[in-house]
């Protein structure tokens, strides 16, 4: 299924990607060398520049699951890519794209987490609860959309 342009990941200019990757590597280096004050300042500046809220752990742990370029691409895109009026069929396609684990998986994961009512909608994609272990994308979406927050 084709998705509306609003649901597709924003392209990241190569220069922005290089700047972000350089900043990630610098922060990681500062953290590993124990320069905590400089690292904290660099993380704060990085978050102000990108609109994200990364903590030091994210800079140290990223290499276990993705490249520095993938981290930089995620940081260059909106932190909460909310798209109004996303349909169930579009969310099913988003889950399918998350499962592909392609270079834009992070965008689709954030999109699903932002557009579904469940507070961690994408969690069952990677760690399905009992009964959803081999569920098709539509059942994952239905479970996420069925969530109703507790009204206080």
Return the exposure string of 95-128: e unless at least 16 CB atoms fall within 10 Å of the residue's CB, then b. bbbbeeeeebbbbbbbbbbbbbebeebbebbeee
* pTM, entire model: 0.78
Question: What residues does each domain of the chain span?
Answer: 14-76, 88-146
Mean of pLDDT values over 30-48: 96
Tens digits of residue pLDDT in 106-143: 899 999 988 887 778 888 888 888 888 888 999 999 98
Tens digits of residue pLDDT in 80-110: 778 889 999 999 999 999 999 888 888 999 9
Longest dimension (CA), the chain: 48
User: Which long-range CB contacts under 8 A does 18-22 form with residues at least 24 apart?
Assistant: 18/72, 19/72, 20/50, 20/71, 20/72, 20/73, 20/75, 20/76, 21/68, 21/69, 21/71, 21/72
Residue 7 has what pLDDT?
Answer: 94
* Portion of the chain with pLDDT greater than 70, in percent: 100
């Amino acid at each position: 299924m084709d998705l509306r342009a609003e649901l597709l990941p924003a392209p990241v200019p190569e220069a922005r990607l290089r700047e972000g990757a350089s900043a990630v590597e610098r922060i990681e280096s500062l953290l590993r060398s124990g320069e905590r004050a400089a690292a904290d300042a660099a993380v704060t500046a990085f978050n102000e520049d990108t609109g994200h809220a990364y903590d030091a752990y994210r800079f140290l742990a990223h290499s276990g699951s993705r490249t520095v370029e993938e981290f930089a691409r995620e940081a260059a895109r909106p932190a909460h890519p909310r798209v109004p009026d996303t349909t169930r069929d579009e969310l099913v396609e988003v889950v399918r794209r998350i499962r592909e684990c392609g270079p834009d998986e992070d965008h689709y994961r954030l999109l699903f987490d932002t557009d579904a009512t469940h507070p961690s909608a994408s969690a069952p994609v990677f760690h399905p609860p009992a009964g959803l272990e081999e569920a098709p994308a539509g059942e994952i979406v239905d479970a996420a959309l069925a969530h109703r927050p507790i009204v206080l």
